[in-house]
Amino acid sequence: MHESLKRAHATQDAFNAFALIREEAALAAARDADEAVKAGRPTGFLHGVPFAAKDLTPTAGDVTTLGSWSSGDYVPSETALCVRRLQAAGAILMGKTTTPEFGHSSFTWSPRFGATRNPHDPSRTSGGSSGGSAVAVGTGVVPFAEGSDMGGSVRIPASFCGIVGLKPSLGRIPMTILPSVFDDISHFGPLARTVDDAVAFLEATAGPSDEDILSLPLTFEAERARDQGLKGKRFALSIDLGFYAVEPQVEAAIRRAAGAMADAGAVVEEVALPWTRAVVDEWYEIWCVFMSAYFGAFRDRMDPAMVEIMRRGFAKDATSYKRIELLRTAMWRDMARLFETYDALLCPACAVTAPPVERKDGDYFNEDAAGHLIGLDMTCPFNLTPQCPAISVPIGPADDGLPVGLQIVGRRFQDEAVLGHGRGVERFYSP
C-alpha cells in the first residue's frame, strides 16, 4: 500500500488522476490486512490489493463531488455496492479518481479539478469520463480501478491510455448509484492493466442484488473468461460502423490486429453495417434527457457545456424520445443477424488517438466531405444495445506513438467470451 500511495503522490502533479488520496484510511486498512494474515484469519482473494474508485461513486466518509462545485462537499454515509464487494474480497480503496462534471464528457476536465492528462503524453487528454481511473491504472498506482460507462466512459479512456476497459452486459454488475434503478444505458466496469485483472474485478463485483432490479441472476464464470484461444473463432470487422471517419493511423492499427488474429487461426471477415450518424445523435438525446432529469437542479459554477446539455434535455418532447427505441430495435436486429454467423464484432474503440487536452466534445460533431462523422469515440452505439458486452484492448501505438484500443463487442450476456477474446488479442501485445 505504501508503494501505491507513493506512486499516486509522485504522479499527481503531472497527470491529476485523483480527486482524493485516502492516505490514512488506506494505511489503516493495510495494517488490518497484515494483522489478519498474522492472526490466521480468513482472507479474500484480493486481500491487500489497492484499487481506486471514481468520484461519481459514493464511498462512506469520503467527500464525493461528482467533479462539480454544485455538489458542495457531500460526504456519503454509505458505500456503493460495487466498491463494497471489492472491499469484501479484501481489496483496499486508496483513492477517488477525477471525472468531468457529472461524468458528462469524453474529456476528463472539470471546473473543480481541472484537466486529467494522458500518461503517454501529458499534452493529450486521458479521455473520459473515467479518465482519472484510467490514469491511476496507466501510471501503475493500482492494477484496476472502478469506472462507469454510459456512452463509453470506461472504454474511451482505456483506449486513449493504453489499458483494458470493459463495459459489461447490462446488469452484470449491479448499478446502484443512480437516482433510478430503471436506467438502461449505465454500467459499472473495470479499467485494468490486463484482461486477467479485469476478470478479477468481475469475480468480486458481478452477481445479482436486490439493490438493482435490473441486475442479472447469473453467475460470472471466471475460468471461461480465461480462454484465450482464437483458433476457429469467427469475427466480423467493421472499421467505421457505417458512418465514422476513422483516422488512417487508427485504421492501420486495427487492421494489423485483425491480421494477427487471422494468423492465430481466427476467421476475420469485413462486414458493412447500415448505420448512420443518427445512432450517435439519438444516443446524445438520451444523454441530454438523463442529465436534465437527474442533475438539472444544479447550476452553481457549472461547466457551460453541462448547462447546454441540460437545456437540450429539458426541451426534448416525450414522443420523440420514445421513438428512439425504434432505432435501438433496428440496431439490435442488425447485431442479432451478425451474431448468427460471428462470435463477436471488431471495431475501433475510438476513431482517433488521444486529442490535445484543450479540445472539447463539441469539436467532434462535424462531417467530412464524404458525409462521415468526424467523431471521437465509437463506443456509445453499444450503450444502445446494452446487453452486449464490449471491451477495449490495447493493440500497440499508432504512427503518432499514442495507444489504440480494439473494441470487441460480444453476444448479449456473454461477458466471459468477450474477456476471453480480449485475452487472445492481448497476448500479441504483452511484453
- The percent of residues in the chain predicted with pLDDT above 70, rounded, is 99
Bridge partners (DSSP) of residue 118 are 121
User: Is residue 322 scored above 90 in pLDDT?
Assistant: yes
User: Is residue 299 scored above 70 in pLDDT?
Assistant: no
Query: What mean pLDDT do residues 273-287 have?
Result: 97
| Res. 64 pLDDT band, cuts 50 70 90 | very high
∠ Cα 96 385 191 (to 5°):
25
3-state secondary structure 42-101: CCCCCCCCEEEEECCCCCCCCCCCCCCCCCCCCCCCCCCHHHHHHHHCCCEEEEEECCCH
129 is catalytic: yes
User: Is residue 98 scored above 70 in pLDDT?
Assistant: yes
Q: What is the pLDDT of residues 370-390, one digit of tens each?
A: 999 999 999 999 999 999 999
Q: What is the pLDDT of residues 169-210, one digit of tens each?
A: 999 999 999 999 999 999 999 999 999 999 999 999 999 999
Query: What mean pLDDT do residues 272-282 have?
Result: 98
User: Is residue 227 scored above 80 in pLDDT?
Assistant: no
| Res. 71 pLDDT band, cuts 50 70 90 | confident
Query: What mean pLDDT do residues 262-277 have?
Result: 98
Bridge partners (DSSP) of residue 408 are 346, 391
User: Is residue 298 scored above 90 in pLDDT?
Assistant: no
3-state secondary structure 215-235: CCCCCCCHHHHCCCCCCCCEE
Catalytic hit among 71, 106, 129, 130? 129
Query: What mean pLDDT do residues 64-87 have?
Result: 96
Across the chain, what does the average pLDDT equal? 97
Catalytic hit among 153, 169, 215, 392? 153
Catalytic hit among 54, 96, 167, 233? 54
User: Is residue 318 scored above 90 in pLDDT?
Assistant: yes
Query: What mean pLDDT do residues 13-38 have?
Result: 98
Query: What mean pLDDT do residues 250-263 have?
Result: 98
Surface-to-core class of residue 25, CB atoms within 10 Å of its CB (0-12 exposed, 13-18 middle, 19+ buried): middle
Which pTM was predicted? Answer: 0.97
- The percent of residues in the chain predicted with pLDDT above 90, rounded, is 95
